Structure 1
């Protein structure tokens, strides 16, 4: 199954009404936060924004803009980037408990699952198990009341206790796994495909697709739409194989992530359309864009037996 996010993402405003969400602004602030803290691995921005895109992919949003920011800052801190999280919060005008209910209230299993599921990018099957472990911990501590912030931090603490001591942060991600074969090696070495590492705490299978690099490597130069479209099945097939191997690696350690989508992200897509649409009329360029998206969607939908979210940056 393929999931195609709409070109516009939505969140809830202060009055609970649906409003357009500035996803590009979120990505820019994340890049800025990482850069200000000397972190140059920009694939990390994708790692964190993918979890937001998963939450906003439907037409009926369930999170406010403040809750989205809180989700991102929580995941940053939980993944070993507390300084980046602090900078991100400053850029977004957040306080330390933005989006959280700070009052101490009685807790039960339903509230624990609701807080953990909305504040952390957990797999559907992971929420119940983590809520149960939080319940055991709170009972053991003799606590009848807890704030949302405490529940979130407790959940993060328990997640870290599951990890190998050698893999405490996203920086200790599992080495990427790639298919063997000359075609795949060429695509990877030419950066037409990039297989991202797998983060240990909130793992996602993800591969980046650079169409400009693909055309340069496989087509020598731009000749025609027909030539490009004839070669795209090879590109998509290798991308799916990478995702399948990454997914297998994730499920060996985290079976609960079976329902999480894998991600294929076409990077610098607008730049590709602009570059190779030169000489086309506006109508022709829009037609080229539409046909290319339709073919990519068809290729990623027909191949795997697992869910892929196809996105464009």
Structure 2
């Protein structure tokens, strides 16, 4: 991302020019960001301190919560600063870093969700072998693979993107550094990078979605074979939280590619970006804790301990 005049900064247009709307957006994003960090941090603490939450499922949930905090922190605090100060400028290096971390954390989430669906498949379809198959060593390797595959996919287009030239404009029509918005204002030939981004996005989406769908096909088939209704309900309840999170994540991504017109493309992208970077990370901790007895019990125990310590 360089040009003939040594470009050192970009201007982020944000979401709106209306001062009153900016205040509402600032309050909304501040609240959702605080809830996101607090909720996901609570899950991380619970999975670390509670002995009952030491299974593979909660290990993956702990990593997912870390990714959620990192993902929302990569862009929301910078946007809040921009709204509060009116400073829409972002340096070239800061933009490149924001772009890198946003995509790394976001893409890794997709692979982790696919891994979590495989974990649920083993738990329900092969319960007697669950502890053997999903042992700590295997879980760590799966997390490592999620990160490595993400980096392998993201580095080629990113390395090419660092050589883009910007001649006419440095104004980005977005509230954060976004690949599509940057490609639009570049005066370089971006056709090859565009194709790489499209191919990479499709591969990530299809690979992870196929893994999720196949896992749940086997899960549903196995659950339907259970003799009692109570067993079926219990099995479905262990998957319900993950299904909801998967639906929100994949649903928002599908929405990006279902565009009514080219004119509304960027407005829709910004709207979906707000959904994925602020609302989804806020909802996920509540989905997992409110629909899971073990996490609710662990939370109650932790709260009681904190109250007792504060009294003493």
Q: Is the pair's TM-score, using the shorter chain for normalization, greater than 0.5?
A: no
Which is richer in strand? Answer: 1
Structure ranking higher on relative contact order (CA contacts 8 Å, 6+ apart): 2
Which is richer in helix? Answer: 2
TM-score (norm 2): 0.25
TM-score (norm 1): 0.25
